[in-house]
Amino acid sequence: MPIPPSTAMPVTSRAEGWWVLAATTWIQVLCSGGMLLVPTLAPQIAAAFGVATNLVGLQVSLLYGVAMLASLQSAVVARRLGGCRSSQLAMVLVMVGCLLALLGSPLALLAMTFLLGLAYGMTSPAAAELLTRFTPAERRNLVYSIKQTGVPLGGVLAGLLAPPLAALWNWQAAFLAVGAACLVTLLLLQLRRALWDATRDASVRMQGGGSLTVLYRSRAMRWLGATGFCLSAAQLSLLSFAVAYMVEELLLSLVAAGAVVSMVHVAGVAGRLAWGALADRLRAGLPVLFGLTGAIALVFLLLSVLSGALPTWLIIALMVIAGATAVGWNGVYLAEVARRCEPGEVGEATAAVLVLTYMGVLVGPALFSLIVWLSDSYAIGFLLPTATGALAVICLLRCVRSSRVVDGDA
């Protein structure tokens, strides 16, 4: 359901809206970069913490699981404390987590993972509270897409800065750098806190079902959440196994495969910006989402069926297109969630659909791995994102149909 213009807080100035966008994007960069420090420095971390390298890899799955659970109540925290204060709390959690990592024990690694998961689960609902208030509706798709570039940019930050810092000093230097950046961000946010949190409601209380009550009340939002589950499963299937596919089936070198994955990430960032701008130009996000879900299903179908018949350069081109679509959908998707939720519930709606989205992050790579294990073929594994892309189309159709039923009843 669209948010009536009369219920939205007027934008105080265009400059203030851009400051909000810059802050929420940077916070997303820091949270994403912090959570990827362990995978980026896996050999050093494994040796320092006394665990096997493959167990360090499980840290990301555990982190997303904590983020999923944190999303249940993170919207209530954002409404009660305000989006700015909630973002500051996320920065505190990342900072403390980075400091705990310096202890160098498995228990410290577990505690750090828990804190970073809490922080990651808090960022999007807090950002949604702020962006919805300070962004005109006609620019919302592009603004949300810019904010969502913080996720891959966090990966770029971790990949470019952590290894050199570890080489020059030690692995602890990377955690200290992220922790210091969080501290500076926390202090700078305080300068705008009074204005940005002017509408916070201290009377809001947590409920047993948390943000999931939004899904209970709205059938359309349930289908939109299911769409996020399908698309995130496709996205993580690509990002988790792209290197292995190119090295083991395309016989590329590890360096060449890494370069292609970098291109996939860049395409994802460019796609988020392009699809957001297109949705704003069309003044509708759903047509763009329909196009993206259909393209995802088609691209992965081509990778699966024609993988052995296509030249390597064309397969790489398809991988980059997959990056632009399967990694580029998030901004338009979250803007559509904000557009369809009830007035004043954008934080709760965002948190609710993110619970299902994080679930797709956990389930997608696991199912892909099972398919590859049973079939001994990554090409056959790409049938999974093909199927989830097609299911996302069906979910969007059901979302539209459910919205029409509600409008008709009204």
247 vs 380, higher pLDDT: 380
Q: What is the pLDDT of residue 6?
A: 33
Name which residue leads in pLDDT, 71 or 189.
189
Identity at 71, one-letter amino acid code: S
Q: Where are the alpha helices (DSSP H) in 190-285?
A: 193-196, 212-217, 219-248, 254-282
Q: Which residue has the higher pLDDT, 207 or 213?
A: 213
Please enumerate in sequence order all residues whose Cβ is within 8 A of that of 285, keeping only pairs 6 or more positions apart, or say none.
141, 279, 332, 333, 335, 336, 339
Q: How far is CA 87 from CA 156, 188, 190, 377, in A?
A: 21, 11, 10, 43
Most confident of 36-40, 262-266, 324-328: 324-328
pLDDT score for 349 = 86
pLDDT at position 73: 82
Indicate if the pLDDT at residue 290 is higher than 70.
Answer: yes
Give mean pLDDT, residues 86-95: 96
Average pLDDT along the chain: 86
Contacts of 99 (CB under 8 A, 6+ apart): 175, 179
Res 93 pLDDT > 80: yes
For the cut 60, the answer to whether the pLDDT of residue 209 exceeds it is: no
Residues whose CB falls within 8 Å of the CB of residue 373, separated by 6 or more in sequence, listed in order: none
How would you class 62 by CB atoms within 10 Å of its CB: exposed for 0-12, middle for 13-18, buried for 19 or more? middle
Distance CA 272, CA 28 (A): 15
State yes or no: pLDDT of 1 exceeds 50: no
Distance CA 62, CA 71 (A): 14
**How much is the average pLDDT of 84-96?**
96
Q: What is the pLDDT of residues 8-45, one digit of tens each?
A: 444 446 778 899 999 999 999 999 889 888 877 877 88
Percent of the chain with pLDDT over 70: 92
pLDDT above 60 for 333: yes
269 vs 262, residue with greater confidence: 269
Residue 139 is classified by DSSP as G
The conformational region for residue 104 under phi > 0 = left, psi -120 to 50 = alpha, else beta, is left
Q: Check residues 62 and 277 and name the one with the higher pLDDT.
A: 277
Q: Does residue 34 or residue 409 have the better pLDDT?
A: 34
- Predicted confidence at residue 124, as pLDDT, reads 86
pLDDT tier at 191, thresholds 50, 70, 90: very high
Residue 90 tokens read as 């996320």
Question: Where is average pLDDT lowest: 48-57, 246-255, 303-312?
Answer: 48-57
Contacts of 90 (CB under 8 A, 6+ apart): 27, 31, 118, 119, 120, 122, 123, 126
pLDDT at 323: 92
